[in-house]
Structure 1
Amino acid sequence: MFKSGVGILALFGLGWWLLGTSAFGAPGRLVAVIAGCLVTVGLLLVARRRFLDGTQPDPLADPARRRRFNQINALQWLVIAAVVAGCASTGAQALIPSLVAVVVGLHFLPLAATFEQPRLKFPAALLVAVGAVAAVIHWADGSDALVRLVVGGGAALSLWATASWTIVSMTATRSEVPAAS
């Protein structure tokens, strides 16, 4: 399930979802957190069931691809650290989630090329758009809670949708392979 990317997408989706739920009060947040946990566990269980036979190749087995993956992610985390430091030093902490969503979205573009997975352009576009919309809400004097709801909820939904799309497309691809005679 992690070789397919579904595990990473589902778990990071939950992280974003938890950020989004911080906009709610106690009873609503509890329900939303439980719902997010159920979606995440559901995606993980479906992926585990679908990919349990272990026939899925490891996309990071190629050393050049693994190196590129590590470079992309290292750069992403460095830029996120710079965003956090910059926002914290200028008093713009409310912009951190929005700008992090943009950075995370942009990191999917080289990943799409590295893994030859055009579907990764989908979360790239959505995360950049969600981050931009949330930043505009902030600059338009929207509440910090609304910014967190928009960026957290939007990012989570885009990652969960991509995880679902991955499961469906990989399942369809596997079912099209003729059985050995």
Structure 2
Amino acid sequence: MFERHTKTATRSGWSLYSPPMTPTTPSTPSSPSTADAECAALTRNLRRRGTLVLSVFALVWAFAGASGMASSTAALAVEIAAGTLTVAAIVLAYRKGAAPSPRMVSLPDNWARGVGIVNVVEVVAIFAVIAASNASGHPSFIPAGIALVVGLHFFPLAGLYDQWQYKGAAVLLTVAAVVGFGLIAVGLSSETVRAVVGLAAAVVLWASAYHVAVKG
């Protein structure tokens, strides 16, 4: 049975008086709590930021892939398309009047600290890949190596942000990295490897960005 609690003053202080609601008593819809509003705002902000970061790094990967293409005309077309897709994703994420996210995030304790640690490890690992590849005389390993690092770092981020799309991005980027190493193994040029890995990574990140922006 629902009860409506009202406070009544007494000489000794405040006490709770709780008369039962009768069937004829009209019920008043409860307003969203402050905690619910804060959770909704946090969810919206994290997903907007996620779309922004994903789409911008997709742009970086697309330009890297375009730099490995033999045709300058094709490379220019890729760059124009990349810029358009990136701007459209950001506008979609930050558009006014967008419906609220259908699912609120459920973040673990110290999630922000965890995100910071994962991102620092990612940056260090990327520089390590670049340094090791150049020092060993195999710079062609750099695109695939970086794609592998980026892919792996999305696995913990999926849980820290409570964003399941990041697991898909993690798997697909890891596959793109493995394909890149395979292309190196069969003797393809570093330009071809850069084009394939770069464009594949860009498509994965754009797909994730658009899905987060539209589906939440």
Please report the TM-score for the alignment, with normalisation by the length of structure 1: 0.85
* Whole-Å separation in 1 of the counterparts to 2:85 and 2:45: 16
Deviation (angstroms), 1:62: 8.5
Deviation (angstroms), 1:143: 1.5
Is structure 2 residue 51 aligned with structure 1 residue 6?
yes
More RCO (CA 8 Å, sep 6+): 1
Deviation (angstroms), 1:52: 7.1
2:150 to 104, 120, 137: 104
SS at structure 2 position matched to 1:91: coil
1:16 to 61, 64, 71: 61
Q: Structure 2 vs 1, CA of residues 50 and 160 (structure 1 numbering), >3 Å: closer, same or farther?
A: farther
Look up the equivalent residue of 2:54 and give its one-letter code. L
Deviation (angstroms), 1:26: 1.9
* Whole-Å separation in 2 of the counterparts to 1:51 and 1:27: 39
Match of 2:20 in 1: none
Look up the equivalent residue of 2:51 and give its one-letter code. V
* Whole-Å separation in 2 of the counterparts to 1:140 and 1:109: 29
Match of 1:43 in 2: 89
Is structure 2 residue 121 aligned with structure 1 residue 75?
yes
Match of 2:186 in 1: 140
SS at structure 2 position matched to 1:3: helix
8 Å contact from structure 1 (residues 76, 103) kept in 2: yes
1:121 to 160, 167, 179: 167
Aligned Cα RMSD in Å?
Answer: 2.4
Deviation (angstroms), 1:123: 0.6
Deviation (angstroms), 1:144: 1.4
* Whole-Å separation in 1 of the counterparts to 2:53 and 2:109: 20
8 Å contact from structure 1 (residues 2, 8) kept in 2: no
Matches within 5 A, 1:25-64: 25-49=71-95, 64=110
Gaps of at least 5 residues in structure 2 are 1-43
User: Percent of pairs identical after alignment?
Assistant: 31
Flag the structure with larger Rg. 2
Look up the equivalent residue of 1:19 and give its one-letter code. A
Gaps of at least 5 residues in structure 1 are 171-181
* Whole-Å separation in 2 of the counterparts to 1:62 and 1:52: 26
The structure with the greater share of residues assigned to strand is 2
Q: Structure 2 vs 1, CA of residues 122 and 54 (structure 1 numbering), >3 Å: closer, same or farther?
A: closer
Look up the equivalent residue of 1:118 and give its one-letter code. W
Look up the equivalent residue of 2:138 and give its one-letter code. A
Is structure 2 residue 128 aligned with structure 1 residue 85?
no
* Whole-Å separation in 2 of the counterparts to 1:50 and 1:74: 33
